[in-house]
Homo-oligomer: A and B are copies of this chain.
Amino acid sequence: MVAGYFGKVLRVNLSGGKISADEHDEDFYRRYYGGSALIAYYLLREVGAGVDALSPGNRLVFAAGPVTGVPIAGAGRNSVGAKSPLNGAYGQAEVGGFWGAELRHAGWDAIVVEGKAEHPVYIWIEDDRVEIRDARHLWGKTTLEVQKLIQKELGSRAIRVAQTGPAGENQVRFACVVNDINHAAGRSGMGAVMGSKNLRAIAVRGHQKVELADEKAVNALARWLRDDLKTNRMAVGFSQNGTAGGLTAFSAMGNLPTRNFQQGHFEGAEKIGGQAINEQILVSRGGCFACPIRCKPHVGVNGRYEVDPVYGGPEYETLGSLGSSCGVDNLEAIARGNQQCGAYGMDTISTGVTIAFAMECFEKGILTEKDTGGLKLRFGDADMMLELIELVARREGIGAVLADGSARAADVIGNGAAEFAMQVKGQEVPMHEPRCKAGLGMGYAISPTGADHCHNIHDTGYVMRIGSGPRAMGILETLPSQDLSAGKVRMQLYGSLWQHALNCLVFCQFVPFASDRMTALLNGITGWNSNLWELMKLGERFITMARAFNVREGKGKADDFLPKRFLTPFESGPLEGVAIKQDELSTAVETYYGMVGWDSEGRPTRPKLEELGVSWVADA
């Protein structure tokens, strides 16, 4: 057994109920580490081209990493991956909370679920004891109800539950996986895959520690970090305001998607920003395993938009997607919408952006009351936004169309609706405006999971905080936000390699921990002599494997696009007249291919796969 790993990946085949374990050696872990790269390994190995994402042939992988469950801030995360039902391409989402750490404490590095159960089931893992249990009585219930029922029937409130919700049961294509009620692996429709397998939940209880090669070194780093977080500006900001802290500033700079990205600033920003939350609805702050930052808001609302603090509260992305994107400035209604998404298990970003898409279609006459069953889908109508969430989760009326995501919905609706579907590779664009952050926009275009803000860096300001700063990565210049030169592509590439490496370890990107300390932590855990070179190559290995998966599915250069809206100048606001230029974007995408070692069509080359030590991918 390698220090820092349990060496075992749990395999559950729901068709037939076989439970087994894959055992891996040190070389395996030193090549794939965990999280993203471990997921890419299993998906490439086991999910052949053309397999329907919602069929039993898909794999659903829950992957922790060497850092997960080690008692240090940032170590409470895991990744969830599968072929995505949004696009038939590589799908993955990260999530915080306590479930991932518990999985590791139960002695498992990851879980690979395949097949489909005959009826609803859940998996119960207590250390080495694993069973598949009936979940028919849980079907149709909210996430909160299900967690309570599972904890009650298994007899402990210490049991951690990851689950899909009613939306996943109904195979809403942007259904998410929720753990600990208020932490969501939101993107890529992982909850729909879980639902398609008749798997409602995975409950875990563990009683083991991650074995550390150098416990003293790890503890010293954990202590240093805990102390540093008390004064670190970024950490203190998250502690005080959560992710919502930057919302009003983002609006002022034109970065806050508003009314389906028609504007980048929102007149109601003050009403839905971090300060408004703190003053009006905040009850407490929660967080993840071992982390003192506690960036998660828990909010409470009484009356019409009743909200139970157990569901947490809206993060920045949700305030944007259910708020400004839908033109909604009612904070209580957004908090209610956030709770609905949590209770039903739906990604708030895709939910909000798909609803905003429907609203714009309605306002432009592409959708009419005939299509909506008499509903008037108007920007700014908070109650309508909430009503649509319900319809989508239940796949009722217009909700049945929207539940397939904006790209598929636009195909069904026709009449030019596609122009207003703000998605890349079928995944709705998150709450960072590409016309404001051009490098991130390019990142949306090339990301294997489609428009995704967790796999990309957010331009110069952000790269300053990652790793040990840009100079440690060889980035000596600063570039304007709107710049899309080769220098920006390089910055985006290097920054994203580090992000991907963190998603393999797995470690939170909100915990400021320079790459030299991160490496020391990894080495303290494993006893290895790893370094930034190895970790950046790990990130490159992942991104190239994920790309290879997509190439095998027929995805290519044509899928590395941005919606036309981003190529059209803002008509007003702080970024009036600003747009991404298609030729600059195309050049940037091709430059990215060249930098990362893919051919001119964006296909990883054999030598690059060989260099990364995964020549078997080229054969596959």
Residues of A with Cβ closer than 8 Å to B? 27, 30-31, 468-469, 471-477, 486-487, 489-490, 493, 514-516, 528-538, 590-595, 597, 605-608, 610-611, 613, 615
Cross-chain contact of A534 among B474, B489, B490 (Cβ < 8 A) = B474
Task: Kindly provide the distance from the CB of A310 to the nearest chain B CB, expressed in whole angstroms.
Answer: 43
Q: Within the assembled complex, what's the spacing in Å between the Cα atoms of A468 and B536?
A: 16
Q: Could you give 28 example pairs across A and B, Cβ below 8 Å?
A: A30-B471, A30-B474, A30-B476, A31-B474, A31-B476, A471-B529, A472-B531, A486-B610, A486-B611, A487-B613, A489-B610, A490-B610, A514-B529, A515-B531, A516-B529, A531-B531, A531-B532, A532-B532, A532-B534, A533-B535, A592-B607, A594-B597, A594-B606, A594-B608, A594-B610, A594-B611, A595-B608, A595-B611
B residues near A607, Cβ cutoff 8 Å: 486, 590-595
Q: Within the assembled complex, what's the spacing in Å between the Cα atoms of A613 and B533?
A: 17
Q: Which has the most chain B C-beta neighbours within 10 Å: A31, A477, A486? A: A486
Q: Within the assembled complex, what's the spacing in Å between the Cα atoms of A515 and B532?
A: 11
B residues near A590, Cβ cutoff 8 Å: 607
Known: A591-B610, A594-B607, A610-B487. A533 touches B530 (CB 8 A): no
Contact B489 A533 (CB under 8 A): no
Q: Which has the most chain B C-beta neighbours within 10 Å: A528, A538, A607? A: A607
B residues near A591, Cβ cutoff 8 Å: 606-607, 610
Cross-chain contact of A611 among B493, B516, B610, B611 (Cβ < 8 A) = B493
Q: Within the assembled complex, what's the spacing in Å between the Cα atoms of A31 and B593?
A: 23
Contact A531 B468 (CB under 8 A): yes
Task: Kindly provide the distance from the CB of A2 to the nearest chain B CB, expressed in whole angstroms.
Answer: 12
Q: Within the assembled complex, what's the spacing in Å between the Cα atoms of A610 and B592?
A: 10
Contact A472 B530 (CB under 8 A): yes
Contact A474 B537 (CB under 8 A): yes
Task: Kindly provide the distance from the CB of A529 to the nearest chain B CB, expressed in whole angstroms.
Answer: 5
Q: Within the assembled complex, what's the spacing in Å between the Cα atoms of A450 and B533?
A: 28
A475: nearest residue on chain B (CB-CB)? Answer: B613
Contact A613 B490 (CB under 8 A): yes
Q: Within the assembled complex, what's the spacing in Å between the Cα atoms of A489 and B514?
A: 32
Q: Within the assembled complex, what's the spacing in Å between the Cα atoms of A534 and B590?
A: 24
Task: Kindly provide the distance from the CB of A348 to the nearest chain B CB, expressed in whole angstroms.
Answer: 35
Contact B610 A534 (CB under 8 A): no
Query: Given A514-B529, A595-B607, list of 9 further CB < 8 A pairs?
Result: A31-B474, A472-B531, A474-B537, A476-B613, A487-B615, A533-B535, A591-B606, A591-B610, A594-B605
Contact B27 A476 (CB under 8 A): yes
B residues near A477, Cβ cutoff 8 Å: 27
Task: Kindly provide the distance from the CB of A374 to the nearest chain B CB, expressed in whole angstroms.
Answer: 54
Contact A529 B595 (CB under 8 A): no
B residues near A490, Cβ cutoff 8 Å: 610-611, 613
Q: Within the assembled complex, what's the spacing in Å between the Cα atoms of A516 and B514?
A: 16
Contact A516 B489 (CB under 8 A): no
A595: nearest residue on chain B (CB-CB)? Answer: B611
Contact B486 A615 (CB under 8 A): yes
Q: Within the assembled complex, what's the spacing in Å between the Cα atoms of A472 and B537?
A: 11
Q: Which has the most chain B C-beta neighbours within 10 Å: A27, A474, A514? A: A474
Task: Kindly provide the distance from the CB of A335 to the nearest chain B CB, expressed in whole angstroms.
Answer: 42
Task: Kindly provide the distance from the CB of A470 to the nearest chain B CB, expressed in whole angstroms.
Answer: 10
Task: Kindly provide the distance from the CB of A30 to the nearest chain B CB, expressed in whole angstroms.
Answer: 6
